[in-house]
Chain A
Amino acid sequence: MESKDSHNQPDGGSHHESHGTSHYIKIWAILTVLLGLSICGPMVGIRWLTLVTAFGIAIVKALMVAREFMHLKIEKRIVSYVLLSMLILVSIFFFGVAPDVMKGEGQQWVKKYDEAAAEAAEEAASEHGEGGEAAAVATNAEPTSDSVAEPAPAAQASGRSKFSKPWVATPELVANGKQVFQVNCQTCHGPEGKGNGPASTALNPKPRNFTAATGWKQGRKPSQIFHTISTGLGGMPSFASLSTDDRWSVVHYVRTLGPHAGEKDTVADLKKIGIDPSKDNGGGSADQVIPIDLAIDRLALESAQGDSPKKAKK
Chain B
Amino acid sequence: MSQDHTHNHGDHHQQTFLEKYIFPVDHKRIAAQYLTTGMFMGLLGGFFAYVFRSQQAHPGHEVPLYGLVNANQYNALTTSHGTLMIFWFAMPVLVAAFGNFLIPLMIGADDMVFPRINRLSYQIFFLSTVILIASFFAPGGAFGGGWTAYPPLSSTAQFSTTPWGSTMWIVAVGLEFVAFLLGGINFIVTLMNARAPGMRMYDIPIVLWTIVIASILFMASVGPLLAGAIMLIFDQTMHIGFYDPQKGGDPVLWQHLFWFFGHPEVYVVLLPAMGIVAEIITVFSRKKLFGYRTVLFTMFGTGVLSFVVWAHHQFIAGIDPRMSNLFTVTTILISIPVTEMCFVYIATLYKGSIELTTAMLFALSFLAAFLMGGVTGIFLGASGADTYLHDTYFVIAHFHYTFVPIAILAGLAGMYFWYPKMYGRMMNETLGKIHFWGTFIPFNCIFIPLFYTGAAGDQRRVYNYENFPHTATDLHYLRQFATASVIVMLLFQIPFLYNYFVSMFKGKIAGKNPWQSNTLEWVAESPPPHGNFSEFPNVYRPPYEYSVPGRDKDFWPQNEPT
A–B in direct contact per CB < 8 Å: yes
Residues of A within 8 A of B (CB): 1, 3, 5, 7, 85-86, 89-90, 92-93, 96-97, 99-101, 103, 106-109, 111-113, 115, 118, 149-150, 198-199, 201-204, 235, 237-238, 240-241, 296, 299-300, 303-304, 306-314
B17-25, B155-163, B404-412 - interface stretch: B155-163
B177 contacts partner chain A, Cβ-Cβ < 8 Å: no
Contact B246 A203 (CB under 8 A): no
B142 at the interface (CB under 8 A from A): yes
Confirm or deny: B537 has a beta carbon within 8 angstroms of a beta carbon on chain A: no
CB <8 Å contact, A92 and B320:
no
Chain B nearest CB, measured from A238 CB (Å) = 7
In this assembly, does B506 line the interface, its C-beta being within 8 Å of a C-beta of chain A? no
The reply to whether B140 and A86 form a contact with Cβ atoms under 8 Å apart is no
Residues of B within 8 A of A115 (CB): 248
Q: Are B157 and A5 in contact (CB under 8 A)?
A: no
CB neighbours of B260 from chain A (8 A) = 93, 96-97
Question: What total of A-B pairs shows CB separation below 8 Å?
Answer: 143
Q: How far is the CA of A103 from the CA of B250 in the complex (A)?
A: 11
The 9 closest A-B pairs by CB, nearest first: A312-B141, A303-B158, A106-B320, A97-B256, A3-B201, A308-B139, A307-B140, A237-B161, A3-B200
B220 located at the interface, meaning its Cβ lies under 8 Å from any Cβ of chain A in the complex? yes
Measured between beta carbons, the chain A residues less than 8 angstroms from B59 are 201-202
- Other than the given A93-B224, A97-B253, 10 more pairs (CB < 8 A) read A96-B256, A100-B253, A111-B250, A201-B464, A203-B70, A303-B157, A310-B139, A310-B162, A312-B138, A313-B142
A198: B residues at CB distance < 8 A: 464, 466-467
User: Which of A90, A108, A111 sits near B245, CB closer than 8 Å?
Assistant: A111
Closest to A151 in B: B246
Is B12 located at the chain interface by the 8 A CB criterion?
no
Within 8 A of A (CB), among B35-73: 55, 59-60, 67-73
* B549 on interface, CB distance cutoff 8 Å: no
Say if the beta carbon of B323 comes within 8 Å of chain A: yes
Q: Which of A90, A92, A310 contacts B308 (CB 8 A)?
A: A92
Question: How many angstroms from the CA of A101 to the CA of B464 in the assembled complex?
Answer: 35
Which of A85, A241, A313 has a CB less than 8 Å from the CB of B136?
A: A313
**Cβ of B322 and Cβ of A307 under 8 Å apart?**
no
Q: List the B residue with the shortest CB-CB distance to A302.
A: B158
Question: Which residues 313-340 of B have a CB within 8 angstroms of A?
Answer: 318-323
- Indicate whether A307 sits within 8 Å of B464 (C-beta atoms), given known contacts A5-B195, A100-B256, A313-B73: no
B74 touches A202 (CB 8 A): yes
What are some 23 contacts across the A-B interface (CB < 8 A)?
A3-B201, A5-B200, A86-B220, A99-B319, A99-B322, A101-B250, A109-B318, A111-B250, A112-B245, A202-B60, A202-B74, A241-B158, A296-B239, A306-B158, A307-B157, A310-B139, A310-B161, A310-B162, A312-B165, A313-B73, A313-B136, A313-B137, A314-B67
Binding site for A on B (CB under 8 A): 55, 59-60, 67-74, 76-77, 136-142, 157-158, 161-163, 165, 191-192, 195, 197-201, 220-221, 224, 239, 245-246, 248, 250, 252-253, 256, 260, 307-308, 310-311, 318-323, 463-464, 466-467
**Shortest distance between the CB of B334 and any CB in chain A (Å):** 15
| Complex: chain A residue closest to B250, CB-CB | A101
In the bound complex, residues from chain A placing their C-beta under 8 Å from that of B137 are 312-313
The residues of B that contact A109 with a CB separation of less than 8 Å are 318, 320
Could you tell me the distance in whole angstroms from the C-beta of A60 to the nearest C-beta in chain B? 25
In the bound complex, how far is the Cα of B349 from the Cα of A52, in angstroms? 60
Q: A89-B307, A307-B157, A307-B163 are in contact. Are A312 and B140 (CB under 8 A)?
A: yes
State the CA gap A116–B220 with chains docked (Å).
Answer: 36
For A5, what are the chain B residues with a Cβ–Cβ distance below 8 Å? 195, 197-200
Tell me which residues across on chain B come within 8 A of A307, comparing CB atoms: 139-140, 157-158, 161-163
**Assembled-state Cα–Cα distance A15/B340 (Å):** 44
> In the complex, A106→B72 CA distance in Å?
36
CA A71 – CA B250 in complex, angstroms?
Answer: 40
- Nearest CB to that of A85 among chain B residues? B220
A contact residues around B141 at 8 Å (CB): 310-313
A310 and B199 alpha carbons, distance in the complex (Å): 59
A7-B197, A310-B161, A311-B141 known; A202+B320 contact, CB < 8 A? no
**CB contact between B192 and one of A1, A86, A90 (< 8 Å): that residue:** A1
The 8 Å CB contact of B142, one of A112, A296, A312, is A312
Give Cα A113 to B140, complex, Å: 31
Q: Are the C-beta atoms of A203 and B157 separated by less than 8 Å?
A: no
Given A202-B59, A202-B71, A304 and B157 contact (CB-CB distance below 8 Å): yes
> CA A109 – CA B314 in complex, angstroms?
15
Let me know if A204 and B239 touch, CB within 8 A.
no
Q: Is the CB of B321 within 8 A of A300?
A: no
Contact status A235-B256, CB under 8 Å? no
Given A311-B141, A312-B142, residue A100 in contact with residue B320 (CB < 8 A): yes
Are the CB atoms of B200 and A100 closer together than 8 Å?
no
Nearest CB of A to B88, in Å: 17
Residue with the highest number of chain B CB atoms closer than 10 Å, among A5, A7, A112, A235 = A5
Residues of B within 8 A of A107 (CB): 320-322
Residues of B within 8 A of A240 (CB): 158
Are A1 and B201 within 8 A (Cβ)? Answer: yes
Residue in chain A with minimal CB distance to B247: A113
Complex CA gap A10/B72 in Å reads 59
CA distance A106 to B136 in the complex (A): 41
Q: What separation, in Å, do the CA atoms of A111 and B72 have in the docked complex?
A: 31
Whether the pair A310, B72 counts as a contact (CB closer than 8 A) is yes
What residues of A have a CB within 8 angstroms of the CB of B162 in the complex? Answer: 307, 310
Contact (Cβ within 8 A) B76 A89: no
Residues of B near A108 (CB, < 8 A) are: 321
Residues of A contacting B224 with CB < 8 Å?
Answer: 90, 93
Are B158 and A237 in contact (CB-based, < 8 A)?
Answer: yes
Partner of A312, one of B76, B252, B253: B76
Q: What is the CB-to-nearest-CB distance from A36 to chain B, in angstroms, rounded to a whole number?
A: 31
Contact yes or no, A300 B308, CB < 8 A: no
Tell me the bound Cα distance from A312 to B166 in angstroms.
13
Query: How far apart are B162's CB and chain A's nearest CB, in angstroms?
Result: 7
**Complex Cα–Cα for A3 and B157 (A):** 53
Residue of B nearest to A304 (CB): B163
- Measured CB to CB, the closest approach of chain B to A75, in angstroms, equals 14
The answer on a CB contact under 8 Å between A204 and B201 is: no
Task: Tell which of B76, B253, B308 touches A313, judged by Cβ atoms closer than 8 Å.
Answer: B76
B328 CB, min distance to chain A CBs, angstroms: 14
A23 to B323, CA, bound (A): 49
Task: Tell me the bound Cα distance from A93 to B245 in angstroms.
Answer: 21
